[in-house]
Structure 1
Amino acid sequence: MRIKLLEPLGVDRKVIDELSSKFIEAGHEFTYYNEKTTDIEELKKRSEDADVLMIANNPLPNEAIKSAENLKMLSVAFIGIDHVGQEECKKKDVIISNAAGYCDQTVAELVIGLAINVLRNMKEGDAATRNGKTIAGLIGNEISGKTVGIVGTGRIGRRTAALFKAFNCDLLGYDAFESEEAKEMDIKYVSIENLLKESDIVSLHLPLTSETRGFMNAEKLSLMKETAILINAARGPVVDNKALADALNENKIAGAGLDVFDMEPPIPEDYPLLHAKNAVLTPHVAYASEESIYRRAKITFDNVYAWLEGTPKNTMKY
């Protein structure tokens, strides 16, 4: 089998060598490209003779997949697969596995961090301290005792809920598919309308699909309390971000913590959320810690090992 890793995974080369050693020992051919590319011709060239491809979050469009005539398996070092050319994968009956679980804790911790930053005015507090100012106007709010709405109760949503529960929060949940694990954690499922009306903190954990694109629109934002905050560390386009900027600037909600946007950073200077009030922004770092990046690489390689042994895991429906 020709197995190719098309881009860096954020770990040292010695980790790649260690993880790929099983392939080589078993007689497979392994190729590692240590520079990312978005050039379609280069992607086609890299992919064309592969039986197995491994990627992270760099787009792999249909045209590149079409050139990989022998492609049988794709291991994605990411949770979502919306950056993959799924049309060609379907035509070729390619098995796609993702890196499920690698960043559950890491994302959940950043969600808590964003919530604390927004509720306790930490960004403004830092600026005040550096500019010789005082506590004036910086009295914030606790997380403890708040009602938290978890929109999307998959693995990351449930892990986030567990951390909020440790802060003595009441938990509401909304998902197209209710989770028994979530119910055992005392997450109470309600309609999305009731969740938005009752929650002090709304945390989004939805995948990006045709159904969820623009899910949090102006109408839904209008249901939130004026004192509530919105946290999005899932996918940027699940929110109508222009409507969110308007809601913040018009004081319709109290604040937002955002790690994802309509595009990958760098963010254009005229992007509305850059100029919105009471917004704490991070450049899509929720998934990225030293611990999670290593886990991601290991899971990505393990997915290929499992497939080679005839027991594929972390397979995605698409």
Structure 2
Amino acid sequence: MIKSSESKSASLKHKIVVCRDLGKEAMSLLYSSDHEIVAWEKDSPPPRKWVLENVQGASGICVMMVDKVDESLLDAAGPSLKVVSTFSVGYDHFDMAAVRARNIRVGYTPNVLNDAVADIAVLLVLMTMRRIGEAIQIVQEGRWPETPWSPFLLTGPALTKPSLTIGFLGFGRISHCTLERLLAFTQPRKSAHAPRCIYTSSRVRSNQQEIDNEYTEQFGIATRRVEVDVLARESDILIILCSLNKDTKGMVNEAFLEKMKSDAVLINVARGPIVDSTALATALENGHLCGAGLDVIDGEPNIPRDHPLVLNPRCVVLPHVGSASDMSRTGMAKLCKQQVYA
């Protein structure tokens, strides 16, 4: 489906290709501009052929995280292309070397989805620790009558565990929002049994101790950077919120999972390929890990109902809905539009 502001042909400035419906507000702003707007106004991805045909001569493109920005797309657009804006925080679907070689700007949508993704991270922590996925299945499958209440039915670890260690693989803005939310469920921050936070980042900073002291002051609990193996060994709750790149792809593998506590939970709200799905399924099946909560999974959206992680009762799998609040998605749409204009 193509919709273009052809009535403004006398005052056209730039051609902008939009690869999905960005919502009423953002689309209205696009069509009210003096630019030529060519849009695929459906919720499904546009055919690759449609994209390659319509980007010819475009100055800007708005894409989703499933739209590959590679050599073929950039070649099809030609030298007129100035910017590609993505409706996402991550841009692992970009061939950044090819983009840089053509001096093309990249727009993305940070900040506006921090709260929404943090909410989902906390939701997955609670669902996983309290085994809510298993509980829902018992009701939905009609097994409640034959699953009588008992003192330790569906019990799991508690957020009020003394000296709880909350770990983050990646400690940016969304991690900060998530930590603040989780602390509301834990022991008081200044008590003898207060939780602590450990995290890992891409490298040690020259002023790392000063940074950690500032975090400790900001969150009111002991917070420090550790290496990856320490993060795996000491975390009671491990939340993945790093970017996907050559260093983090497959980082949470068999060796990593073997270091984790048997009563720990793993939460991934970043990108699926950071976690080795086969290794995670094995760890859950062997009881080496208490549970996992995944908003993202390697291979998505092509995840069959018989996928080992979908079938595992100790694993909660969501269809990548981390930023799916009305306010967040509207903000992302507007920012995606603004990045192209800027």
Bin for the TM-score computed over the shorter chain: 0.7 to 0.9
| Structure 2 match to 1:5 | 18
In structure 2, relative to structure 1, the CA distance for the partners of 1:161 and 1:261 (3 Å cut) is same
Q: Which moved more, 1:83-92 or 1:106-115?
A: 83-92
Whole-angstrom distance in 2 between the partners of 1:218 and 1:292: 35
User: TM-score normalized by structure 2?
Assistant: 0.81
Q: Deviations over 1:168-225 (max 9, x none)?
A: 3421111114684645334321222222211111000111111111000111111110
Partner residue of 1:57? 65
Question: Does the CA-based 8 Å contact 1:62-1:84 persist in structure 2?
Answer: no
- Please list, as runs of the form range in 1=range in 2, the aligned pairs for 1:19-98 lying within 5 A after superposition: 19-20=29-30, 24=33, 27-35=34-42, 36-60=44-68, 61-69=70-78, 70-98=80-108
Aligned to 1:106: 116
- Give unmatched runs, 5+ long, in structure 1: 308-318
In the alignment, which residue of structure 2 is the partner of 1:173? 199
> Deviation of residue 277 (structure 1)?
4.3
1:139 alignment partner, one of 130, 133, 155: 155
Q: Which amino acid aligns with 1:259?
A: D
Whether 1:127 aligns to 2:137 is yes
Q: CA RMSD in A?
A: 2.0
Which whole-Å CA distance do the structure 2 matches of 1:281 and 1:294 have between them?
25
Q: CA deviation at 1:250?
A: 0.5
Distance 1:19 1:182 in 2: 40
Is residue 152 from structure 1 mapped to residue 191 from structure 2 by the alignment?
no
Q: Distance in 2 between matches of 1:99 and 1:77?
A: 6
Amino acid at match of 1:135: W
**Contact preservation (8 Å) 1:165, 1:171:** no
AA of the residue aligned to 2:41: N
Q: What amino acid maps onto 1:50 in structure 2?
A: A
Residues of 1 paired with 2:215 and 2:336: CA distance?
27
Tell me if the contact between 1:152 and 1:204 (Cα under 8 Å) persists in the aligned partners.
yes
In 2, the alpha carbon distance for the partners of 1:201 and 1:126 equals: 22
Give me the whole-angstrom Cα distance separating, in 1, the residues matched to 2:287 and 2:91: 35
Give CA-to-partner distance per residue, 1:66-125, whole Å, 9 cap, x none: 110110111111011111233432231100011011221111111111111111121222
| Letter of the structure 2 residue corresponding to residue 20 of structure 1 | L
Q: What residue identity is the alignment partner of 2:96?
A: Q
What SS does structure 1 have at the residue aligned with 2:179? helix
Q: Which residue identity is paired with 1:167?
A: F
What is the CA–CA distance in structure 1 between the aligned matches of 2:35 and 2:311, rounded to whole Å? Answer: 52
Amino acid paired to 1:99: T
Shift of 1:299: 1.2
Compared CA separation, residues 71 and 221, structure 1 to 2 (3 A)? same
Return 5+ residue gaps in structure 2 as ranges: 1-13, 187-194
Match of 2:180 in 1: 162
Between stretches 243-252 and 102-111, larger displacement belongs to 102-111
Residue 11 of structure 2 corresponds to none
Aligned pair partner of 2:335 in 289, 299, 311:
299
Q: Distance in 1 between matches of 2:149 and 2:21?
A: 45
Contact 2:31-2:37 within 8 A present in 1 as well: no
What amino acid maps onto 2:62 in structure 1? M
Identity across aligned pairs (percent)? 28
Tell me the distance in 2 between the aligned counterparts of 1:299 and 1:144.
39
CA distance in 1, matches of 2:165, 2:62: 40
Tell me how far apart the structure 2 counterparts of residues 89 and 139 of structure 1 sit (CA, whole Å). 50
How many Å separate the matches in 2 of 1:99 and 1:31? 21
CA distance in 2, matches of 1:72, 1:134: 63
- C-alpha distance in structure 2 between counterparts of 1:128 and 1:278, whole Å: 13
* 1:258 matches 2:294: yes
Contact kept in structure 2, 1:245 and 1:273, CA below 8 Å: yes
The residue matched to 1:222 in structure 2 has which SS?
helix
Q: Relative to structure 1, is the Cα distance of residues 3 and 256 closer, same or farther in structure 2, using a 3 angstrom cutoff? A: same
What is the rounded CA distance, in whole Å, between the counterparts of 1:220 and 1:86 in structure 2? 29
